[in-house]
Structure 1
Amino acid sequence: MSRRGNCWDNAPQESFFGHMKDELGERIKHWKTLEQVQCDIDDWIDYYNNDRGQRQLQYLSPNEYYNFITTGEYPTNMALINV
């Protein structure tokens, strides 16, 4: 555990929620019910985990990267990107 007030403690969470707010920005204005909020957030989290590639994860989604790390098999529909 780091010392109190260390800004790096919350960096992953703040990054995730910052991306979520950026990408859901237009939808937020039109939310009228809690069900709309839950549905849009659930859809975005599904997209984030399964389809949205990330540079730090070799342009794979988090679930694709997890499968790559645990099995050693890179997804066949993608070529390795050396960046």
Structure 2
Amino acid sequence: MNIAYKTLDKLAKSTEDQRGSDTILHSDQGYHYTHPLFQEKVRKMGIRQSMSRKGNCWDNAPMESFFGHFKDAVDYKECKSLCELKHTIDLYIDEYNNHRYQWGLNKMTPAQYRGHKLAV
């Protein structure tokens, strides 16, 4: 539970001034995400929680797509330490969010698309 709570704390700090009222946190139905304290923290942050339904892979398709691209693009098994793995993941997330244009986002990067949606 501590990892899930720390993740929410980091999310709160990093997006405090940028979260829209329509922000959604999507997850599966794991223990951490269905726990009442976790759900209360999400509500207090003003975020709507969304969970995959059992047996419905389409609910989590965007994240599965991301991890599919990640596994194709990053040789994460070559990392020699947790620190190196974290650095490798951070580099890929930066590339994915800020430099990788996507057809499904009107040929914008995720960061550009998010800024575009917040400006509307």
> Normalising by structure 1, what TM-score?
0.72
Aligned length: 70
CA distance in 2, matches of 1:29, 1:3: 31
Change (3 A) 1:6 1:39: same
Q: 1:5 to 1:70 in 2, by over 3 A?
A: same
Q: Which residue of 1 aligns with 2:73?
A: 23
Cross-structure match for 2:119:
71
Q: Which of 81, 90, 97 is 1:49 aligned to?
A: 97
Q: Which has the higher strand share?
A: 2
> What CA RMSD, in Å, does the superposition of the two structures yield over aligned residues?
1.8
Residue equivalent to 1:5: 55
What TM-score do you get using the length of structure 2 for normalisation? 0.52
Unaligned runs of 5+ in 1: 73-83
Shift, 1:37, TM fit? 0.5
Select the structure with the greater relative contact order (CA < 8 A; seq sep ≥ 6). Answer: 2
CA 1:3–1:47: 2 relative to 1, 3 Å: closer
Give the Cα–Cα distance (whole angstroms) in 2 for the partners of residues 54 and 34 of structure 1: 30
* Amino acid across the alignment from 2:54: R
Q: Percent identity?
A: 49
- Tell me, in whole angstroms, the C-alpha distance in 2 between the residues paired with 1:3 and 1:57: 25
Q: Tell me if the contact between 2:52 and 2:60 (Cα under 8 Å) persists in the aligned partners.
A: no
Whether 1:35 and 2:83 are equivalent positions in the alignment is yes
Please say if residues 76 and 88 of structure 2, whose CA atoms lie closer than 8 Å, have aligned partners that are also in contact: no
**Gaps (5+ residues) in structure 2?**
1-50
